[in-house]
């Protein structure tokens, strides 16, 4: 199952993070871990594997422009499906925000959370259909107007 979902930029600043149950971690440790992960991702070259081990978890990461999308998961999960999840997620964000960029994510952090909630629940991938994921969000937007 997924343990956490993290967006860090090239300077090591966390732009978005979501942790799933079973990941007992305090705030200070969390910050350190995120910085450490950002460093490790930065060190890797483009040619190297997109998966690497970090303690007891495996990390799958992808870089989009200046942001690293990092997912930490357990050994038994299909790592390629996780990588594809990242891609699907970015595509969905792209559709919603129209050419999403880092700023969009920063200023709409609650929306980003909600979209992720639609896709991943309990650390499992539930929905990847773009339409299904965005429908409730768009509904809510309509209702708020």
Alpha-carbon distance values, 140 to 19, 95, 98, 135 (Å): 24, 16, 18, 9
Per CB under 8 A, 43 contacts other proteins:
no
What minimum distance in Å lies between the beta carbon of 39 and other proteins?
A: 13
Residue with Cβ nearer other proteins (94 or 108): 108
Residue 44 phi/psi, 5-degree rounding, is: -80, 145
Q: Does 16 bind other proteins (CB under 8 A)?
A: yes
Q: How far is the CB of 135 from other proteins (least distance, A)?
A: 7
Query: Is residue 25 close enough to count as binding other proteins by CB under 8 A?
Result: no
For the beta carbon of residue 25, count every other beta carbon within 10 angstroms.
13
Question: Which CA distances in Å does 19 have to 97, 118, 129?
Answer: 23, 15, 22
Residues near 87 by Cβ (< 8 Å), separated by ≥ 6?
Answer: 62
Please give the Cα distance from 135 to 34 (Å, whole number). Answer: 32
> Which positions from 75 through 134 interact with other proteins, judged by CB under 8 A?
78-81, 83-85, 87-88, 102-104, 106-110, 113-114, 117, 121-122, 124-132
Size of the site for other proteins (CB under 8 A): 58
Position among 51, 72, 74, 95 found at the interface with other proteins (CB under 8 A)? 51
Q: Which two tokens stand for residue 52?
A: 């690497």
The footprint of other proteins (CB under 8 A) covers 9, 13-14, 16-17, 21, 27-28, 30-31, 47-53, 55-56, 66, 78-81, 83-85, 87-88, 102-104, 106-110, 113-114, 117, 121-122, 124-132, 135-136, 139-141, 143-144
């Amino acid at each position: 199952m997924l343990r956490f979902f993290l967006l860090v930029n090239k300077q090591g600043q966390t732009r978005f993070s979501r942790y799933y149950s079973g990941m007992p971690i305090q705030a200070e440790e969390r910050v350190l871990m995120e910085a450490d992960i950002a460093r490790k991702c930065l060190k890797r070259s483009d040619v190297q594997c997109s998966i690497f081990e970090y303690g007891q978890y495996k990390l799958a990461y992808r870089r989009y422009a200046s942001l690293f999308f990092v997912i930490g998961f357990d050994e038994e999960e299909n790592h390629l499906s996780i990588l594809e999840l990242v891609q699907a997620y970015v595509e969905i964000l792209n559709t919603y925000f129209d050419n999403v960029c880092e700023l969009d994510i920063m200023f709409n952090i609650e929306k980003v959370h909600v979209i992720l909630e639609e896709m991943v629940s309990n650390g499992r991938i539930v929905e990847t259909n773009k339409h299904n994921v965005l429908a409730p969000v768009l509904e809510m937007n309509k209702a708020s107007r």
